[in-house]
Structure 1
Amino acid sequence: MSLKQGLAKLFALIGTMMLGSGVAVADEVVGAPRPKQLGLQEPATDLMRQLETVHNHILMPIITIITLFVLVLLLICIFRFNEKANPVPSKTTHNTLIEVIWTVAPALVLVFIAIFSFPLLYKQLDLPKPDLTIRAIGHQWYWSYEYPDNGNFTFDANLVEKEQLPADKKDLYLLQADNEVVLPVGKNVRVQITATDVIHSWTVPSFGVKHDGVPGRVNESWFNIEKPGIYYGQCSELCGVRHGFMPITVRAVTQEEFAKWVADAQKKFAKVDGTPPVTDVAQTAPAAVASTAN
């Protein structure tokens, strides 16, 4: 393969990656990764849509330009300054202009990126008035959930083993939990995240949510799901030998369906009676409470 053919394939791959997430693919399951997928998962919240815009239209072009610029510099060094083409090497030891350029230019690029990324960072942490609060508690190696606004019941969510999945859902192995987190669409959902043993991370890519669950601390995040469907995530903080077996399955439903599910869940799942709520951590250890995105 010639250098020209190699560069042509490289440019084609970069173009595919930049446009890949914008291609609509009809999936039965919303919010799940697809085999050989390029780009981010389809956004299910306004926050994730803005994150995707910054990623696709701000970060990827900048990264592509920088990568190509460095590639050109490398090719110049390889072909112009090799021993055959340049038998007498340059003895230049300092160039003030170049020093200024490679200091100022990256700083300006970072400032430009910050203009778009900082507002999204603050939006993640600036919680609106919640319509619903849930708690996600990480354990080795499963999640448990509480619904303090809807009867304060709790349930565990464990991995569904591959042999237990239907034939048409084998691709969801490591993503499907036995108990789904059911939430209404169009509501501001506050999720309080903590852990009981080591650090875990509650992550749902379609929501644009990725927050650590730290023992003794409470991280808060929020999202507003725009349309019904099933959305998948996983623990995203290395937490032990079964780190990869902590799926997160969220089913988004209408308000009427959610009310019906709550009525059934109050009978099906255990009450959280006599156990201090997660928010009590803020009263007993104020310095330990954190709301930091990762």
Structure 2
Amino acid sequence: MAWSVAAETDSMRLNMTAGVTDVSQRVYDLHMTILYICVAIGIVVFGVMFWAILHHRKSKGAVAASFHESTKVEILWTLIPFVILILMAIPATQTLLAMEDTTESDITVQITGSQWKWHYRYFDEDVEFYSLLATTRAQIANERDKRDNYLLEVNRPLVLPIGKKVRFLITSQDVIHSWWVPDFAVKKDANPGFINEAWTRIDKPGVYRGQCAELCGKDHGFMPIVVIAKSQDEYQQWLQATKTAQRAAYEEEQRLLAMEMSMDELMSLGEQVYGTRCAMCHQINGEGIPGAFPALAGQGVSIDPARKLEHISLVVHGRSGTAMQAFGPQLSLKELAAVITYERNAWGNNTGESVQAAEVQAVMDGKAL
């Protein structure tokens, strides 16, 4: 299925989308050219076959001829397909070379896939962020009032300018993912330990949607991509606003280190963070999935007062060789403190312990263990 601005309101397409880039248009044109060639071949082959069946049938007194190989016929039916394949290969090769030419780019964005989110980092700009499915599990479970794109919405879309060549450096943090936006004719695997390149130049502003196109785990279907293409002026305004917001967030975290949040505030925020980041594995009730994801309710580091720092470290740094990711780079100090506090006090755990931003920072700096 192809998603585009028009596809958000139109019915499902029966053909490829022409896209909004020069490369996507070339891919579409190539697809249609080869389709027409195949249709023409089919018409000729089946036309000759049906003509032979009708005009050389037994009821018309046709007698089967007896003959052996013809060198001329052998050469002819070998040469014709060869010429057709060459005619198809020339535009296909030209299109493929254009798709792989990432030179002379204006902007470079590093894309890192992980279970189950995307991380975007703009080279030469102090801007990076994670992009996750914006629809909550409760909304997904609700059978009524679903929006058309409820599984194709993210909290932070990738924003790009139109008319600029954008190079993508695509990799993965854990398993193989695939960054796919049909309107750009970009579909590139994100392999852990490797960097693949792709590029695009968007012709017109709009919202363009895609998905991870590689089966990457239990929540593979909840890993959408949203790209918003803006004019150059609007893009610069967004870039500046994002830089300002990120600097403000950093300054807020520094102030937070000297403060203590109340238990009610920590639990309220922690429940929100847990629902969007942790519930997909450990379940909304903290019971986990036996054999896959450990339970947090009534057992483990979540209830042991002596393992509080271990709990913080596990959330911040993750656990190598497991699906437990490092959330230190993904969440703010406030969110980390809140979600750990929530895990230690929800579902009847009731340790009565709160975790503050300063404690999280100490673990990040390696001063607490």
Query: Is TM (by shorter chain) over 0.5?
Result: yes
Residue in 1 aligned with 2:302? Answer: none
The whole-number CA distance in structure 2 between the counterparts of 1:87 and 1:49 is 51
Q: Is residue 135–residue 193 contact of structure 1 (8 Å, CA) maintained in 2?
A: yes
What is the SS of the residue equivalent to 1:105? helix
Residue in 1 aligned with 2:297? Answer: none
Residues 105 and 140 of structure 1: is their aligned pair in 2 closer, same or farther, counting only changes over 3 Å? farther
Residue in 1 aligned with 2:234? Answer: 257
Q: Equivalences for 1:63-212 in 2 at 5 Å?
A: 63-72=38-47, 75=50, 94-158=69-133, 160=135, 163=139, 170-212=147-189
Structure 2 letter corresponding to 1:157: L
What is the SS of the residue equivalent to 1:127? coil
Shift of 1:193: 0.8
Residues 92 and 213 of structure 1: is their aligned pair in 2 closer, same or farther, counting only changes over 3 Å? farther
Range with bigger deviation, 153-162 or 211-220: 153-162
Shift of 1:133: 1.1
The whole-number CA distance in structure 2 between the counterparts of 1:247 and 1:148 is 23
The whole-number CA distance in structure 2 between the counterparts of 1:44 and 1:168 is 31
Residue in 2 aligned with 1:18? Answer: none
What is the SS of the residue equivalent to 1:261? helix
Range with bigger deviation, 84-93 or 29-38: 84-93
Q: Deviations over 1:5-33 (max 9, x none)?
A: xxxxxxxxxxxxxxxxxxxxxx9935758
Q: Deviations over 1:218-273 (max 9, x none)?
A: 111111111110011122233334333321110011222222322333334989xx
Residues 71 and 146 of structure 1: is their aligned pair in 2 closer, same or farther, counting only changes over 3 Å? same
The whole-number CA distance in structure 2 between the counterparts of 1:170 and 1:261 is 26
Q: Is residue 159–residue 246 contact of structure 1 (8 Å, CA) maintained in 2?
A: no
The whole-number CA distance in structure 1 between the counterparts of 2:53 and 2:148 is 45
Residue in 1 aligned with 2:28? Answer: 52
The whole-number CA distance in structure 1 between the counterparts of 2:50 and 2:192 is 50
Residue in 1 aligned with 2:202? Answer: 225
Residues 113 and 228 of structure 1: is their aligned pair in 2 closer, same or farther, counting only changes over 3 Å? same
Shift of 1:52: 2.1
TM-score by length of 1: 0.69
Shift of 1:161: 5.4
Shift of 1:87: 9.3
Q: Is residue 127–residue 221 contact of structure 1 (8 Å, CA) maintained in 2?
A: yes
Q: Is residue 140–residue 239 contact of structure 1 (8 Å, CA) maintained in 2?
A: yes
What is the SS of the residue equivalent to 2:124? helix
Residue in 2 aligned with 1:37? Answer: 13
TM-score by length of 2: 0.56
Structure 1 letter corresponding to 2:191: V
Residues 161 and 62 of structure 1: is their aligned pair in 2 closer, same or farther, counting only changes over 3 Å? farther
The CA RMSD over aligned residues, in Å, is 3.5
Range with bigger deviation, 210-219 or 259-268: 259-268
Count of residues paired in the alignment: 245
Shift of 1:74: 5.2
Q: Is residue 31–residue 41 contact of structure 1 (8 Å, CA) maintained in 2?
A: no
Shift of 1:104: 2.0
Residue in 2 aligned with 1:281? Answer: none
Structure 2 letter corresponding to 1:212: D
Range with bigger deviation, 136-145 or 114-123: 136-145
In structure 2, stretches of 5+ residues that fail to align are 251-327, 330-369
What is the SS of the residue equivalent to 1:171? coil
Q: Deviations over 1:78-117 (max 9, x none)?
A: 6567887789766666444443333222221111012212
Residues 89 and 204 of structure 1: is their aligned pair in 2 closer, same or farther, counting only changes over 3 Å? same
Residues 233 and 28 of structure 1: is their aligned pair in 2 closer, same or farther, counting only changes over 3 Å? closer
Residue in 1 aligned with 2:263? Answer: none
Identical pairs, percent: 35
Larger Rg: 2
The answer on 1:244 being equivalent to 2:221 is yes
Residue in 2 aligned with 1:9? Answer: none
Q: Is residue 31–residue 43 contact of structure 1 (8 Å, CA) maintained in 2?
A: no
The whole-number CA distance in structure 2 between the counterparts of 1:96 and 1:63 is 26
Shift of 1:54: 2.2
Structure 2 letter corresponding to 1:50: R
Q: Is residue 20–residue 183 contact of structure 2 (8 Å, CA) maintained in 1?
A: yes
Q: Is residue 4–residue 19 contact of structure 2 (8 Å, CA) maintained in 1?
A: no
